[in-house]
A and B are shown apart, each in its own frame.
Chain A
Amino acid sequence: MKVILNINHQEYPLNVPAGERLLETLRRLGFFSVKYGGCEKGECGACAVLFDEKPVNSCTMLTAQAEGHMIQTVESLGEHPKQGWKHTEGLHIIQQAFVDTGAIQCGYCTPAMVLVAKALLDKTPSPSEEEVRDALSGVLCRCTGYLKPVQAVMRAAAIIRGEHVPPIDEPFDIGDFLVFDAKSDDDGTPAEPRGGTMNETKFFPWLKVVEGRSPMKTVGHAEPKVDAVKLVQGKPAFTADFERRGMLVAKVLHSPHAHALIKQIDTSAAEALPGVAAVLTWKDLPRVAYSTAGQSHPIPGPLDMFSLDKKVRFVGDRVAFVAAETIEIAEAALKLIHVDYEILPALIYPTQSMDEGAPIIHDEDEYVNFVDSDPSRNLAAEIRVDIGDVEQGFAEADRIFEAEYIVPKVQQAHIEPHVVITYWDEDDRLVIQTSTQVPFHVRRQLAPVLDLPVKRIRVIKPRIGGGFGGKQEVQIEDVAAHLTIATGRPVIYEMTREEEFIASRARHPMRIRLKTGVKHDGTITANEMYALSDTGAYGCHALTVAGNTGHKAMALYVGDGAYRQQPNIRFYSDVVYTNTPPSGAFRGYGVPQGFWPVERHMETISRALDMDPIAFRLKNALRPGELHPFSTAWSEGREPKPEIVYTMGLEECVNQGRMAIAWDHKFGNPEWRKVPGSEHLRKGIGVAMVMQGTAIPYLDMGGASIKMNDDGSFNLLVGATDLGTGSDTVLGQMAAETLGVPLEDILVYSSDTDFTPFDKGAYASSTTYISGAAVCKAADKVAEQVRERAALMFAEKDYQVDPDEIILEDRKAIAPSGDAFSFEEIGLHALHETDQVQIMAVASHVSPVAPPPFAAQFAEVTVDTVSGMVTVDKLVMAVDGGVIINPITASGQVEGGMAQALGYAVSEEMVYDELGHARERDLVDYHIFRADEMPELTTIFVETYEHSHPFGAKAVAEIPLDGVAPAVGNAILDACGVSLHEIPALPEKIWKVLTTSNEK
């Protein structure tokens, strides 16, 4: 049908199908700021546009509905302020505020948020925080925790009103110690429910600067992200924004059965459908066993997956691939594939996986074991770690505490779905353009699957719309690649939100048993954990996720006195197969699973001993200078090597956090727990202490390459993958600090396996630490060359200077005399004038240590003691992540991490029925928090100086996932006496305990 759309004040006469949705039309027209979140019900809001000046989701309205209305996208707002000779107005005030405040992480939802903000501020120039949050309620963000987007809108509103707003990067006076006591003005008054009072126009996290750190110009400052300007404009930066001529659309036929053999499969009708280019089944592909876990060689897990197999192992498993001219044809073709299944008994519950007579999920001959995997027992991995003499420790205990805890399967829920484009280039090399955290692993791991040598594959990682571990998986690249090989044509495969739930990866659910021995004085004498982990149908990350559950969560409490010198710790785990969707990597990587039981258990013990829960924990916690107890026992399936923990700010984190949340006023205060006028409500406060890792020692390697340009700027090429975390920015900051230039002179590019150095990818909280050290090494080498070149130039002027005496600062090489050459002069001299040479260097880094970050997490909740409904009012996290390279991006990591962890605590879970069908298939049933229901978030950084990193950094990316659930659980206990052993903390679970205790 013919329609005329008015988009961004221009008319577009179009011929569209009557059923076409506005999202599809806009993207076809090239409005790539309008993003596809894979959803069908408009729940994510990434596709929002302004419709007669109001935000609406373009995925849930027909294009035809929009005729006669004004459609506005972010493309109509500001643009880059410098477009050569062309004058531009620059970014819109709202866009600039998003850039300045750090409101942009992955940037996938940013255009939608900017439009929502514009609509709000156009009608409400002075909005309250509640109004801002309400306006943002339609745009889900999995990265930020919404705090910085809210602040961005408040800041933009103030600027539009003509008010003065302070610079973001002040008053951060490096070298000073901030006085924390002054800010603890919370007298315990209950928080306003569902709506805050914030009206700040700037935000800088509370930061206790490490003593003796010298002032720096770029590192430690709130630099705007290097990619923020393009993201806030909605530029075509993500995989699905790229177009190839003649590109086919891929779709996957998923299994309706949890466990079945494909007896027959008839694709003839599908192949005969006009517009279908290829249909592939297991008969068409080479049978290569591989793992989708994106990890270094050799993969520390079983090879148990095939691109397509004659057996399906979960509802959602792959049955066939289709490539067609359009998505509609591809979907129609799927319906024409006739499959005759022989249904096998399904194994849904992990507790039954190793029972005698249980169905065997992996009986294929090609299965490749890793260490102790045993498919004949449905065992993907087995871990047995004994440190010290655990039985002796129990024998010496005055009391033994035992309990079982359960953590659910949860989804990463990145707003950009998995998406890949593949094509043959002009040299007949296969190009894989994909939203991945691990481009180099994709190349290496897919080569045998595709029967191509590594050198004939090129992987390009564009911008990533969030990953959180979900894209540390070589999960869909083979689908498009096989279809490109079959058809010779470019292919795009983009998962729907339902596919993300039924056919992707998730956090391993676990059933964990804890046994702890303690003396009457609170000394832990032995600690034992057994974790039964459910890896689902395939063993991706089976061993290493479970290993980290013990390696981190069981390492924090070593005991006190003699036990501190020789802790007694046992960690056993069985990781079993079931006929459910595979588990995999999810931010935190096994550690959130471990800290739920450990921190709930510690709370139980401290209360039973009538000890202060904080004092009890600190008495037994690891201390600086002590051996990481697991470092001699386990290392991701590789040889362990002893490691001392030198930097540890846990105690100071506790001190700062307890002040920020007014712990001493609230904890144990029955009057504070009451909510005046609401007898059924009780408030509670809880704490958890956590540690994580920073990279994998002796394994994780990152590389960096830096070259100098004619104008004195530098290209920094890294294989590290910024999935929204801001790693491109912090890597650039470290290079800029080393080279003496502002960040804008560092042009960061990542990543392309043809052009950027190897990097293991974005996982294990390793980028700032490992890739950052590589960047610093490369920058040091380049800096040395710049000094030598400057010395040469001084010599040409008869001024002999030792290069080592030259200082690089403010884009200049400055001699002791004060004479200087600009970097532009140096670049021109090196490239064009004398003894020409490209100033450049490559470096890589691997670390012998993995210095853990530590944190204290506090939570405040209100429990409805009638219904069991929990409202989390406040989350405060004090983190020792070493030196903070960029306080804004780092605090964004903590806020976003706490928001994800909040869902883990109270709302998120993936549930299956007895036939293995998923209950959650969209972001309606799988509820992630909206902007208008978030608790108050506070981030505090307590710096330590980690000497194994050039700038003293450790990590902050994953640790925010660890402590929220147990802190919330402990707060629920404090509020109403309910000791939950299972998350999420659903109302009915709490109600059951309350009802039972009332009956007693």
Chain B
Amino acid sequence: MIGEYFRPKSIEEALQLLTETGKIRKPLGGGTSLSRQRDGDFDVVDLQTVGLDRIGEDHQNLIVGAMVRLDTLLAHPGADSEIKHAIRIDASENTRNIATVGGWLMSGDGRSLLTTTLLALDANLSWAPGTEKIRLGDWLPLRAQNQPGVLLTEIAWHTGTKLVFEYVARSPKDRPILIVALAQWGSGRTRVALGGFGSVPIVAMDGMSADGVDIASRDAYFEAEDQWASAEYRREVAAKLALRCAVRLNAIKESEA
């Protein structure tokens, strides 16, 4: 149950509130997840006025404040069309208008397309206090245990990276049971993230080319069984969708050449 509500005006003030001794306080993004938590007593620190709601670009990196709402990212010209497609499937209009990118990463599970695509893009997370950055792929598996900082402030990824994803669901806008996201840098570096299963998406491959994306995907989801799909299905189809992603990506590159 939420005891007190705070709305700090700056990151510093937010940090002070969140680190006050003897208090259980949680940062509040859009509220779509935290507003419905009823277990335990805690306070919330609403970050809507701390200045984390901006999108910037720096050296081919898109830098997205943790409080940027999904609809703002959707409308941003610098965001990849596949990221936008992922957002549209992940969240309806009403949710996009209030949910934040930071909150989505904090609360989303393995079936989130946005999280999976950002994982493929090897997004970096910035934390306060301090200047610590951590790769999304390093943070996600430990998300439930501990945080590298008090406050997630920014998410950044390289905008020159090509991204495609494929997914399987019961209907076009249903939560996917399988996601394959493939990102490729100009250097040829290729990274595959898999989603649609578990508490977080995972990295299946991070290599210097697209060779072996199918094998890597199959191996990564070798035991990905739950009540929504069998491991056999996920691993076999993931392999084929990874190849499809690679073909699509090549087609994009050829069309741009």
Distance between Cα atoms of A879 and B44 in the complex (Å): 55
Q: A1-B5, A924-B175 are in contact. Are A60 and B36 (CB under 8 A)?
A: yes
Contact B175 A18 (CB under 8 A): no
Contact B244 A18 (CB under 8 A): no
User: Does A739 belong to the interface (CB within 8 Å)?
Assistant: no
Q: How many A residues are at the interface, by size bracket?
A: 35 or more
Task: Give the most central of B5, B229, B240: most A CB within 10 Å.
Answer: B5
Residue in chain A with minimal CB distance to B31: A61
User: Does B92 belong to the interface (CB within 8 Å)?
Assistant: yes
Distance between Cα atoms of A992 and B168 in the complex (Å): 14
Chain A nearest CB from B114 CB (Å) reads 15
Chain A nearest CB from B85 CB (Å) reads 10
User: Does B171 belong to the interface (CB within 8 Å)?
Assistant: yes
Q: Which residues of A contact B170 (CB under 8 A)?
A: 906-907, 927, 984, 986-987
Q: Which residues of B contact A137 (CB under 8 A)?
A: 88, 92-93, 173
**Which one of B3, B31, B236 contacts A995 once the chains associate, using CB atoms below 8 Å?**
B236
User: Does A376 belong to the interface (CB within 8 Å)?
Assistant: no
**Chain B residues numbered 217-248 whose CB sits less than 8 Å from any CB in chain A:** 227, 229-230, 233, 236-237, 240-241, 244
Distance between Cα atoms of A869 and B167 in the complex (Å): 9
User: Does B71 belong to the interface (CB within 8 Å)?
Assistant: yes
Surface stretch bound by B, among A47-55, A418-426, A622-630: A47-55
Chain A nearest CB from B158 CB (Å) reads 28
User: Does A62 belong to the interface (CB within 8 Å)?
Assistant: yes
Q: Which residues of A contact B168 (CB under 8 A)?
A: 864, 867-869, 987
Task: Give the most central of A40, A67, A869, A871: most B CB within 10 Å.
Answer: A869
Task: Mark interface residues in B160-186 (1 if CB within 8 Å of A CB, else 0).
Answer: 000000101111111101100000000
Q: Which residues of A contact B177 (CB under 8 A)?
A: 987-988
Contact B94 A56 (CB under 8 A): yes
Main SS of chain A's interface residues?
loop
**Chain B residues numbered 114-170 whose CB sits less than 8 Å from any CB in chain A:** 166, 168-170
Q: Which residues of A contact B93 (CB under 8 A)?
A: 55, 116, 134-138
Q: A64-B46, A138-B93 are in contact. Are A929 and B35 (CB under 8 A)?
A: no
Contact A867 B178 (CB under 8 A): yes
Contact A45 B237 (CB under 8 A): no
Task: Mark interface residues in A104-137 (1 if CB within 8 Å of B CB, else 0).
Answer: 0000000000001000000000000000001111
Q: Which residues of B contact A1 (CB under 8 A)?
A: 4-5
User: Does A930 belong to the interface (CB within 8 Å)?
Assistant: yes
Q: Which residues of B contact A867 (CB under 8 A)?
A: 166, 168, 178, 237, 240-241
**Which one of B31, B96, B173 contacts A62 once the chains associate, using CB atoms below 8 Å?**
B31
Residue in chain B with minimal CB distance to A932: B173
User: Does B106 belong to the interface (CB within 8 Å)?
Assistant: no
Contact B92 A866 (CB under 8 A): no
Contact B44 A18 (CB under 8 A): yes
User: Does B208 belong to the interface (CB within 8 Å)?
Assistant: no
Residue in chain B with minimal CB distance to A919: B227
Contact A54 B173 (CB under 8 A): no
User: Does A991 belong to the interface (CB within 8 Å)?
Assistant: yes
Number of B interface residues, CB 8 Å?
Answer: 46
Residue in chain B with minimal CB distance to A907: B170
Distance between Cα atoms of A60 and B34 in the complex (Å): 8
Chain B nearest CB from A562 CB (Å) reads 46
Chain A nearest CB from B172 CB (Å) reads 4
Distance between Cα atoms of A18 and B230 in the complex (Å): 43
Distance between Cα atoms of A867 and B169 in the complex (Å): 9
Distance between Cα atoms of A984 and B43 in the complex (Å): 43
Distance between Cα atoms of A866 and B43 in the complex (Å): 48
Q: Which residues of A contact B241 (CB under 8 A)?
A: 866-867
User: Does A911 belong to the interface (CB within 8 Å)?
Assistant: yes
**Chain A residues numbered 827-865 whose CB sits less than 8 Å from any CB in chain B:** 864
User: Does A703 belong to the interface (CB within 8 Å)?
Assistant: no
Residue in chain A with minimal CB distance to B229: A988
User: Does A244 belong to the interface (CB within 8 Å)?
Assistant: no
Residue in chain B with minimal CB distance to A40: B36
Q: Which residues of B contact A60 (CB under 8 A)?
A: 30-33, 35-36, 95, 98
Task: Mark interface residues in A40-79 (1 if CB within 8 Å of B CB, else 0).
Answer: 1110010010010011110111101101000000000000
Chain B nearest CB from A682 CB (Å) reads 15
Residue in chain B with minimal CB distance to A69: B48
Q: Which residues of B contact A864 (CB under 8 A)?
A: 168
User: Does A680 belong to the interface (CB within 8 Å)?
Assistant: yes
Contact B5 A62 (CB under 8 A): yes
Chain B nearest CB from A900 CB (Å) reads 13
Q: Which residues of A contact B88 (CB under 8 A)?
A: 134, 137, 932
Q: Which residues of B contact A927 (CB under 8 A)?
A: 170-171, 174-175
Chain A nearest CB from B243 CB (Å) reads 9
Distance between Cα atoms of A42 and B227 in the complex (Å): 23
User: Does A21 belong to the interface (CB within 8 Å)?
Assistant: yes
Q: Which residues of B contact A134 (CB under 8 A)?
A: 88, 93
User: Does A139 belong to the interface (CB within 8 Å)?
Assistant: yes
User: Does B252 belong to the interface (CB within 8 Å)?
Assistant: no
Distance between Cα atoms of A547 and B250 in the complex (Å): 57
**Which one of A54, A869, A929 contacts B97 once the chains associate, using CB atoms below 8 Å?**
A54
Q: Which residues of B contact A17 (CB under 8 A)?
A: 2
Task: Mark interface residues in A133-174 (1 if CB within 8 Å of B CB, else 0).
Answer: 011111100000000000000000000000000000000000
Chain B nearest CB from A970 CB (Å) reads 19
Contact A907 B2 (CB under 8 A): no
User: Does A19 belong to the interface (CB within 8 Å)?
Assistant: yes
Contact B171 A907 (CB under 8 A): yes
Q: Which residues of A contact B35 (CB under 8 A)?
A: 19, 21, 60-62, 65
Residue in chain A with minimal CB distance to B30: A61
Distance between Cα atoms of A135 and B94 in the complex (Å): 8
Contact B171 A54 (CB under 8 A): no
Chain B nearest CB from A191 CB (Å) reads 12
Chain A nearest CB from B197 CB (Å) reads 13
Distance between Cα atoms of A45 and B2 in the complex (Å): 23
Chain A nearest CB from B99 CB (Å) reads 8
Task: Give the most central of A40, A42, A139: most B CB within 10 Å.
Answer: A42
Contact A991 B233 (CB under 8 A): yes
Q: Which residues of A contact B92 (CB under 8 A)?
A: 45, 137-139, 930
Q: A18-B44, A45-B92 are in contact. Are A56 and B97 (CB under 8 A)?
A: yes
Contact B44 A62 (CB under 8 A): yes
Distance between Cα atoms of A18 and B48 in the complex (Å): 16
User: Does A194 belong to the interface (CB within 8 Å)?
Assistant: yes
User: Does A643 belong to the interface (CB within 8 Å)?
Assistant: no
Q: A21-B35, A65-B48 are in contact. Are A51 and B240 (CB under 8 A)?
A: no
Q: Which residues of B contact A136 (CB under 8 A)?
A: 93
Residue in chain B with minimal CB distance to A908: B170
User: Does A933 belong to the interface (CB within 8 Å)?
Assistant: yes
Q: A42-B94, A135-B93 are in contact. Are A866 and B31 (CB under 8 A)?
A: no
Q: A51-B98, A907-B171, A987-B168 are in contact. Are A680 and B244 (CB under 8 A)?
A: yes
Residue in chain B with minimal CB distance to A63: B5
Contact B94 A57 (CB under 8 A): yes
Q: Which residues of B contact A135 (CB under 8 A)?
A: 93
Chain B nearest CB from A383 CB (Å) reads 33
Q: Which residues of B contact A67 (CB under 8 A)?
A: 7
Contact A19 B1 (CB under 8 A): yes
**Which one of B2, B48, B98 contacts A57 once the chains associate, using CB atoms below 8 Å?**
B98
Q: A19-B2, A194-B172 are in contact. Are A64 and B7 (CB under 8 A)?
A: yes
Contact A988 B171 (CB under 8 A): no
Q: Which residues of B contact A45 (CB under 8 A)?
A: 92, 94
Q: Which residues of B contact A984 (CB under 8 A)?
A: 170
Chain B nearest CB from A145 CB (Å) reads 14
Known interface pairs A867-B166, A919-B227; 5 further A-B residue pairs with C-beta atoms within 8 A, sorted by A's residue number: A57-B98, A62-B31, A138-B96, A929-B173, A930-B173
Q: List 30 A-B contacts (CB under 8 A).
A: A18-B44, A42-B94, A42-B95, A51-B97, A60-B95, A62-B31, A62-B35, A64-B46, A65-B31, A116-B93, A137-B93, A137-B173, A138-B93, A867-B168, A867-B178, A867-B240, A869-B169, A907-B170, A925-B175, A927-B170, A929-B171, A929-B173, A933-B172, A933-B173, A933-B174, A987-B168, A987-B177, A987-B237, A991-B236, A992-B233
